Amino acid sequence: MGSLALALRHCFFASCMLATGTGAAFAQPGTSLRAFLAQKPEQTILTSDHSPYELEVKFIHESGVRLNNGLLTSSTHPDAIKTIQKYLRERGADIRPLLDQPVAWLDEMRERGERRSGIKLHDLNLFYRVEVPAPESDWVCDFLNSFEVVEIAYPSGRVSDPSTENLLGSSTPDFEAQQGYLDPAPLGVDADFGHTCSGGRGAGMTIADVETGWTIDHEDFDGKLTNSIIGLTPPPDPWNHGTAVVGELIGQQNGFGVVGICPDSDVLLSSHLGSFSNVPTAIMTAANAVGPGDAVVIEVQCFDGPPSPHPCEYAPGIFATVQTATANGIHVFAAAGNGFNDLDQAAYGGAFDRSVRDSGAVMVAASDGSTLNHASFTNYGSRIDVHGWGFDVTTCGYGDLQTGAATEQYTAAFSGTSSATPIVTGAGVLIEMIQRKAYGTPLDPLALRDLLTNTGTPGTDPITIGPRPDVKAALRFLEVPEIEVTGTFVPDGPIAITQRGTAGDFYGLMLSADLRATPLDFPKYGELFLDGTFSFIFTGMLGVDGTSTLNGLLPPDVGDYSLYMQTLQVFQTKPGRGSFSNYFAVDVGS
């Protein structure tokens, strides 16, 4: 190819669309989720993390235990249930369903998840919460565990935000420049690359955040959280922790403050109000409010017996709700917790052994800020899937970076698996939405989890915290169309334009001097970012290695300027008609 200036040939976009091939459907990934909770203990031991006044009980599957007008009934064990009911009344205990959702809705959610995933799910209507007036939850658990109809009874624990003490941060006002977690791997998750792709700002995705409270009207949310609270109310407000999490996700591209990893996504807020027993309801409220392909992020760590804090899915009720959500096609991202505990140790009884049980959630550990080494506080082990920045994350809230009213505060020191989890969530959201734009289908939760793990940046740390997600590497694995330009970006400088995709796909390479503030959406092809007069400068077919490289020269002395490039690829073997690539900016200067 000669000078690009000479190679331009102008044509109207619609007339230059290439013919399409027939796409093949994606294979549904297999699952290995198991319906396993925990073994009954010989004796219930209360620790300082347990409530002596509250416990949870799960009745065995298909026992038909229901609570009607304050009376427990069972279709299979009526006599045992009558004995249990009498015992609880004598102790002045109050029993009610663990989850607040209607019985019929929970049944429908379970049945739909079983049909979709092919796994046997727990009947969430068999979980109950018991409150006792005297400090004897351990005795009541032991009594209940003596019955065959009881699968397990256990004392309630406590919850907290999985963040560490806020550290002193930088006072520089250049907040986006401090968001290294947006940068290319290995420093960050390469959200910056994702933002140049169709769907790469998260539009069309709903994320439900499960934790305590938020500063709803923070200036960097631009009103996006108005009327976003769902489920249990009222959540604590303002609350720095939730504000910092949401800032990482959807801080607006408004010229000030921070930029979220998926700024165009919608966020819903489901509070557990600080209660261990409310976490299952908060999770199912979140799952009810989103749909397949959407996300739930669990920003909670739990304390309830074994080495704590630990991931909340150790608790049977929380595990069952997470498993039900992922079986219904919902991506769940969960904080691993900040106890520096090995989740593979015997004290957890196999709760974090995927060969024993698997909730389907993405479990997130924390690294030491920008390095790939483990943070000194993070939990770790084979159940961990990936990690994110666990130190000095710049986001909204707290006020150490910028003080003032709660609506105007920022931090450069958000830390813990709290800061790591939304980074991983954001990366997963970008991959999911770019996949949908390119191919028209969502990823299965297990497929996305495997993708994050298998394409992430590995570390050399002997402590097992998984890799750091790499959005670009994941998209290359999916063969999402991509353009990359290398060379000497000066007048008459040599450049190489490389397009990546699937071997045999047709492409049309475009060039423009302008970039749209809001890209144009072309259904079935995704988003066109280029603006003004643009041209196809080359059409062709990707080679046997799925790439095509064009070599040429930039135009001669015309002063400093910018060129933007993007390609349209038309699929021959993949589902969908075709897709635009990312856009690539070349700044030419003398």
Mean pLDDT of 462-473: 97
**Residues with Cβ within 8 Å of residue 484, at least 6 apart in sequence:** 497, 498, 500, 584
Predicted pLDDT at 37? 59
Three-state secondary-structure class, residue 448: helix
pLDDT digits (tens, 9 = 90+) for 196-233: 999 999 999 999 999 999 999 999 999 999 999 999 99
Alpha helices in 456-524 (DSSP H): 471-477
Mean pLDDT of 8-33: 30
Domain count, the chain: 3
Confidence of residue 278 (pLDDT cuts 50, 70, 90): very high
Mean pLDDT of 456-475: 95
Q: Are residues 460 and 562 in the same domain?
A: no
By mean pLDDT, which of 63-67, 234-238, 303-307, 461-465 is the weakest? 234-238
Mean pLDDT of 481-494: 92
Query: Which of 452, 477, 502 finishes a domain?
Result: 477
Does 171 map to a domain?
A: no
Measure the CA–CA gap between 231 and 328, rounded to whole angstroms.
Answer: 19
Q: Is the pLDDT of residue 166 over 60?
A: no
Mean pLDDT of 528-536: 84
pLDDT digits (tens, 9 = 90+) for 389-430: 999 999 999 999 999 999 999 999 999 999 999 999 999 999
The label of the residue with tokens 């520089």 reads 172
Confidence of residue 178 (pLDDT cuts 50, 70, 90): confident
Tokens read off for 384: 């961990």
Does 98 map to a domain?
A: yes
Q: Are residues 111 and 220 in the same domain?
A: no
Q: Are residues 468 and 484 in the same domain?
A: no
Residue 173 φ then ψ, to 5°: -85, -5
Does 261 map to a domain?
A: yes
Predicted pLDDT at 305? 84
Q: Are residues 284 and 151 in the same domain?
A: no
CB atoms within 10 A of CB 228: 18
CB atoms within 10 A of CB 69: 5
Strand order in the sheet with 150-155: 94-97, 127-131, 54-59, 150-155
Predicted pLDDT at 193? 96
Tokens read off for 229: 């609270």
Q: Closest Cα partner for 145 from 51, 46, 74, 58?
A: 58
Domain with 377 in it: 176-477
Residue 498, strand partner residues: 484, 549
Confidence of residue 34 (pLDDT cuts 50, 70, 90): very low
Does 272 map to a domain?
A: yes
Does 32 map to a domain?
A: no
Does 43 map to a domain?
A: no
- pTM for the whole thing? 0.91
Q: Are residues 83 and 135 in the same domain?
A: yes
Pick the residue with more confidence: 341 or 235?
A: 341
Q: Are residues 507 and 448 in the same domain?
A: no
Q: Are residues 289 and 376 in the same domain?
A: yes
- One-letter amino acid at 161 equals D
Q: Are residues 472 and 483 in the same domain?
A: no
**Residues with Cβ within 8 Å of residue 281, at least 6 apart in sequence:** 98, 99, 100, 101, 231, 232, 272
Give ∠ CA 166-172-173 in degrees, rounded to 5: 105
Does 200 map to a domain?
A: yes
Tokens read off for 62: 């298909």
Residue 414, strand partner residues: 393
**CATH number where 541 lies:** 2.20.130.20
Report the chain's mean pLDDT, rounded to a whole number. Answer: 90
Q: Are residues 149 and 241 in the same domain?
A: no
Query: Which of 477, 499, 529 finishes a domain?
Result: 477
Q: Are residues 74 and 129 in the same domain?
A: yes
By mean pLDDT, which of 317-321, 481-485, 511-515 is the weakest? 511-515
Tokens read off for 288: 């009810």
Measure the CA–CA gap between 435 and 208, rounded to whole angstroms.
Answer: 20
Q: Are residues 292 and 280 in the same domain?
A: yes
CA distances in angstroms from 129 to 25, 137, 540, listed in the order given: 44, 11, 64
Query: Which of 156, 186, 219 finishes a domain?
Result: 156
Render 58-98 in DSSP notation, one character per residue. EEPTT---EEETTEEE-SS-HHHHHHHHHHHHHTT-EEEES
Does 418 map to a domain?
A: yes
**CATH number where 241 lies:** 3.40.50.200
Residue 129 φ then ψ, to 5°: -110, 135
Predicted pLDDT at 17? 31
Q: Are residues 126 and 211 in the same domain?
A: no
